[in-house]
Amino acid sequence: MRGQVNQPTRTIEVKDVAGLAARAAHPVVSIIVVSYNTREMTLDCIRSVIAETRARYELLVYDNASSDGSAEAIAHAFPTIRLVASEVNHGFARANNIAATMVSGEYLLLLNPDTIVLDGGIDKLLRFARRRPAARIWGGRTLYGDRSLNPTNCWGRMSLWSVTSQALGLTRLFHDNSFFNPEGYGGWQRDSEREVDIVTGCLFLIERVFWERLGGFDPVFTMYGEEADLCLRARAYGARPAITPECEIVHYVGASTSVRAQKLEMLLKAKVTLMRRHFPRWQLPVGLALLSCWPLSRMIGSGVLRAVSRKPRWAETNAAWREVWRQRRDWQRGYG
C-alpha cells in the first residue's frame, strides 16, 4: 500500500469491555480518525461517533505525534477504543494509509477529528452506500459550528476554465454561479444526492478492498490534494463518487492548520501536483501559468482594498498573500 512505513509508534494498550467488543466484532465499517493537536475536538468527535452510530463498527484513532496531550486524554476518556500514538507526524495521507492496514471492516470511513457526527450520520451514510454501490466512494453534507452550510464536502475537478476563473477573481465575485465557480459547484446547497468529482477527506467512505486496489492515498501529498488524487484515480476504474444530504456532520475546518499563509502555500503545492498528474499534457503549461496568476491577483486586489478601506482584515489578507507570492518558487514545484 502507498505510504506504508516502519516508523516508531507507541500503541496504547487498553482493556476492552463486552459491549464495545461485541459492536466491533466483524465490523461493517472501520472508522479512522487521524488527529494532530486537536485534543478537545477529537474527544468530542469520538463522543459523537459512539452516541450516533448503531452499525457494527471499529474505531481507530491514530494520533500524529500531537504535543497537546491528545493521546493521553483520549486514552483516559475512552479506555475501550483502539488508539495508536505515533512518535512521528506522518501527515494526513500517510497516517491514514498506516491506520488502514490495522482495521478489517468492509468499508473504511475517514473522519476528521474536528467533526461532530449528527443524527445517526454514519448509519445513514452506510445505507446510502448500499443503495448506490456504483459510486464506490461516498460523502455527506457538512456544516459549520453554527449549523450553516459548509460547502467543502466535495469539489469539481480542476480545469483550464476553473483556474482561469480563479485567476481573474470571477470565482470570488460570482461564487454562487456554477459557470464561474465550477470547482465549488456554484450555489448548490448540497441538499440533494449528486455525483461529484471529489469527496473530501473529512468524511470519506470507501470500500476497503477498493482502497487497497487503489493503493490508498499517495503520501507525496503532505497536506491537501490526497483525496482529489485518489478520487480522480478511482474514476479511471469506473467509480462515480457521490454525496447525500441525509448524512450530516459538523466540520470546523482547518483546526490543525492555523497559519493562513502556510495553509495557502500547501494548497497551491497540492494543486500544482494534481495538475501535473491529471491535466492533459497540452493544457499543463497554460494551467500552471494561470494557477500562478491566482495568488498574484489576490495579492494585488487585497492590497488595493487595504489602501482604500484601511480595515485590519484586508491588511491581514494582503500580508498572507504577499507571503504566498514570496514563497512561489517553493509551491510552484509542487509536492514532487
pLDDT tens, 168-193? 999 989 999 999 999 999 999 999 99
Asked if CATH classification 3.90.550.10 holds for the domain at 9-156+196-251, the reply, yes or no, is yes
Tell me, what's the pLDDT at 259?
54
Tell me: pLDDT of 9 over 80.
no
> Could you tell me the CA-to-CA distances from 28 to 92, 106, 125, 129, 264 in Å, in that order?
23, 5, 12, 12, 37
For residues 309-334, average pLDDT: 92
For residues 8-25, average pLDDT: 45
For residues 13-26, average pLDDT: 50
For residues 216-239, average pLDDT: 95
Tell me, what's the pLDDT at 23?
56
| Average pLDDT across the chain, whole number | 90
Helix (H/G/I), strand (E/B), else coil: 176: coil
Q: Which residue has the higher pLDDT, 158 or 313?
A: 158
pLDDT (tens digit, 9 = 90+) per residue, 21-79?
445 668 999 999 999 999 999 999 999 999 999 999 999 999 999 999 999 999 999 99
Q: Which residue has the higher pLDDT, 21 or 251?
A: 251
Residue 297 to residue 283: CA distance in whole angstroms:
21
Helix (H/G/I), strand (E/B), else coil: 207: strand
pLDDT-derived band at 260, boundaries 50, 70, 90: confident
Spell out the domain ranges in the chain: 9-156+196-251, 260-331
Tell me: pLDDT of 254 over 70.
no
Tell me: pLDDT of 105 over 50.
yes
Q: Which residues contact 112 (CB under 8 A, 6 or more apart)?
A: 33, 34, 45, 201, 202, 203, 251
Encoded amino acid at 189, one letter: Q
Tell me, what's the pLDDT at 153?
96
Tell me: pLDDT of 1 over 50.
no
Q: How many CB atoms lie within 10 A of CB 19?
A: 9
| Residue in the block written with cell 469520538 | 46
Tell me, what's the pLDDT at 37?
94
Q: Which of 93-102, 127-136, 250-259, 311-320 has the lowest mean pLDDT?
A: 250-259
Tell me: pLDDT of 11 over 60.
no
Tell me: pLDDT of 270 over 90.
yes
Tell me, what's the pLDDT at 15?
37
Tell me, what's the pLDDT at 222?
84
Q: Which residues contact 239 (CB under 8 A, 6 or more apart)?
A: 134, 135, 136, 137, 210, 231
Q: Percent of the chain having pLDDT more than 70? A: 91
pTM, whole model, 2 decimals? 0.89
